[in-house]
Structure 1
Amino acid sequence: MADRTERLRAWLRGHLDGEVPVLTPASADASFRRYWRLSRHPSRGGGSLIAVDAPPEREDSAGFVRLARALRAIGLNVPEVYAQDLAQGFLLVGDLGERQYLDQLHPNNADRLYGDAIGALIALQSAGPREGLPDYDEPFLRRELGIFDEWLLDGLLALPRAEQDRPMLEITYDLLVESALAQPRVCVHRDFHSRNLMLTEQGNPGILDFQDAVIGPVSYDLVSLLRDCYIDWPEERVQSWADAYFALAVQCGVLAEEHAASFAAWFDLMGIQRHLKAAGIFARLALRDGRPDYLGSLPRTLGYVQQVGMRYPALVPLASFVREGLMPRIAARVDA
């Protein structure tokens, strides 16, 4: 890591008029990318900058650059790319600040901030890029559900297969995949939540971590936003924001009035697929990457699965399995 940091410094000097940059850690990330904040610099209009170190064998910097340009072209507030070295995995980009939605949201400003985020999401879905993006298809969805099996059930909890109720899980996965594939398909950010949205003075929100975008189900980013793994809200507020999204989506041609009868179930079941995947990712971060802090998000994440699952007869077995078979074990691991 020290060697990469020195290489990054040397590369940056060539783009900062020879200045030796002082690198301050900018944020933690659930990936192999590292972010460094550089102080205000005259050559870039006096604004601070972010240096990105993304090992090319691990991260797709080319995808980030391509999507950043496409999203800025439709008016979304994403970092401007000033310089790039894809072979080394180095980028120099604009700084969207330090005010994550997660730290700024409170009951009195949530309507405004989520309103801004929903507006940006509609822009992404109605005008976002489509060519060249992976298809969020059935194999993709099932691979994600496999993360839950491999890393949470088998890995973190070491739950014997005899206690996993595999027939129930396979029936559930079929239902979740079928619902996802039935939805209109749009450009999907895939991580549109409070840690990747920044509160900005203009063009709010700033949007980060979009390089893994795909073409997929229309409800995916909305449920990522409103049933966030890192912050939760009373269900009546979530429903009001979802209703506001639906009205705007119809107005902008992303959805049609005829989708009203299906949308609530699409939203709910997409959330369960996402939260199972996220629970598996949190377990993987703890076990493989030495990030046990992510285990603290498991109770909220799987809590959504319990709450939503109880509304659908076909999902009650899953909700019961999570409540009775997983949550006590997870509580013990989090406490430990």
Structure 2
Amino acid sequence: MGDTVSDRESLRLDWARTQLRQPALALRRASVDAGFRSYWRTEGGDGSHIVMDSPPGLEDVRPWLRMRDLLEGGGVRVPQVLARDVEAGLLLLEDLGGPTLAQVIDAGNADDWFDRAIAQLLKLQAIAVPADVGAFGEALLQRDAGLFEEWFLRRHLGLELDCAQAESLQLVQRRLMDNALAQPQVLVHRDFMPRNLMPVLPEPAVLDFQDCVRGPIAYDPISLFKDAFLDWPLARVDGWLRRYRARAADAGLPVPAWEIFQRDADWMGVQRHLKILGIFARLHHRDGKPKYLADAPRFIAYLDEVLPRHRELQPLAGLLQTVIKPALRAKDAA
């Protein structure tokens, strides 16, 4: 394994030196995905660039390139590709800087940055979805639902739900899925959040877009304002959602009236929060990446503030109070 890593490092460095014609160039880790893709910043040369490394057999670079081109064609700000070797899984990109929007946004500048992010999102959602792009449909929703039960409840908390509890969870999951499938469908990023936006002007650049699908119009707005790593007061979130909905309607996007859209966004958020709890538990227990689960309380808090607004989701609220929270407390105390 060591030789393989070393070979990859040499290949990556030699390729970057060749592309930039700078034989003394060095590479320093810039960031790493939760997957196998990694990013490296050039040092010791003229200007700064990013090498994206997607090892063949582990992370195919072609879906990323294809979606990048589609988004750019729709006016979305995406990283510029300066050189590519698709077979080797190596791309040379412009350097958009160090911190992501998640690292620079705060209570004082959030309104401005979210206005700029909404502008990018509206462009993304206006792009006609190619016929061969996957759908955020029944199969994907079922998989997402299974992540929460299998990895967060069963593996992380050690819970085995009894028949009544399992039926309560399945009832709510079914309602969430039916709502998602009934929403107007647009191109969906699926992780449109400050961590995947670079704070360049006039509008932030969009990253990590390779998994775009056709899906519910409320998915990306709720992902932006109810982030996996940042949280905001519910009143501000509702205000930003209103702002997004008004601008989406003005742009001719198929967004419903506010009361319906708020419900759709709330329910989409609940579906997403449950999925992410499952993914974070899987990253911890299967992949040896424990840091993500530290954010689990944020998602429990999201559920606490939204579930009371919706009578149809009360079976999940009851499960949260009587089963899930006690199990979390017991695990924290252990």
Q: Does the alignment reach a TM-score above 0.5?
A: yes
TM tier relative to shorter chain: over 0.9
Give the letter for the 1:276 counterpart.
Answer: L
| Distance of aligned partners of 1:231 and 1:126 in 2 relative to their CA distance in 1, 3 Å threshold | same
- 1:290 aligns with one of 283, 288, 291: 288
| Mapped partners of 1:155, 1:124: distance in 2 | 36
2:134 aligned with 1:130? no
Aligned residues: 330
SS in 2 for 1:52: strand
Cross-structure match for 1:25: 29
Give the letter for the 1:292 counterpart.
Answer: P
Q: Is contact 1:306-1:323 (8 Å) kept?
A: no
Q: How does 1:1-336 map to 2 (within 5 A)?
A: 1-17=5-21, 19-39=23-43, 41-42=45-46, 46=47, 48-127=48-127, 129-162=129-162, 165-200=165-200, 202-256=201-255, 259-331=257-329, 333=331
SS in 2 for 1:97: coil
1:82-106 Cα distance to aligned partner (Å, 9 max, x none): 2222333222112211121211111
| Mapped partners of 2:6, 2:299: distance in 1 | 35
Q: Is contact 1:246-1:255 (8 Å) kept?
A: no
| Mapped partners of 2:136, 2:65: distance in 1 | 21
Residue 111 (structure 1) shift: 0.4
1:224-246 Cα distance to aligned partner (Å, 9 max, x none): 01111211111111111100111
Q: TM-score normalized by structure 2?
A: 0.92
Q: Is contact 2:24-2:44 (8 Å) kept?
A: no
| Mapped partners of 1:335, 1:195: distance in 2 | 31
Q: TM-score normalized by structure 1?
A: 0.92
RMSD: 2.0
| Distance of aligned partners of 1:165 and 1:3 in 2 relative to their CA distance in 1, 3 Å threshold | farther
Residue 114 (structure 1) shift: 0.6
Aligned sequence identity (%): 39
More divergent stretch after superposition (231-240 vs 14-23): 14-23
| Distance of aligned partners of 1:246 and 1:5 in 2 relative to their CA distance in 1, 3 Å threshold | same
| Mapped partners of 1:97, 1:166: distance in 2 | 47
SS in 2 for 1:249: helix
| Mapped partners of 1:299, 1:163: distance in 2 | 26
Q: Is contact 2:24-2:45 (8 Å) kept?
A: no
SS in 2 for 1:139: helix
1:27-77 Cα distance to aligned partner (Å, 9 max, x none): 1322221111113754xxx3x211112223232310111111222222222
| Distance of aligned partners of 1:98 and 1:269 in 2 relative to their CA distance in 1, 3 Å threshold | same
Which runs of 5 or more residues in structure 2 are unaligned?
Answer: none
SS in 2 for 1:24: strand
SS in 2 for 1:195: helix
Residue 180 (structure 1) shift: 0.3
SS in 1 for 2:228: coil
| Mapped partners of 2:332, 2:220: distance in 1 | 28
1:135-192 Cα distance to aligned partner (Å, 9 max, x none): 1111111111111112111211121243881111111111001000111111101101
| Distance of aligned partners of 1:152 and 1:325 in 2 relative to their CA distance in 1, 3 Å threshold | same
Which runs of 5 or more residues in structure 1 are unaligned?
Answer: none
| Distance of aligned partners of 1:86 and 1:329 in 2 relative to their CA distance in 1, 3 Å threshold | farther
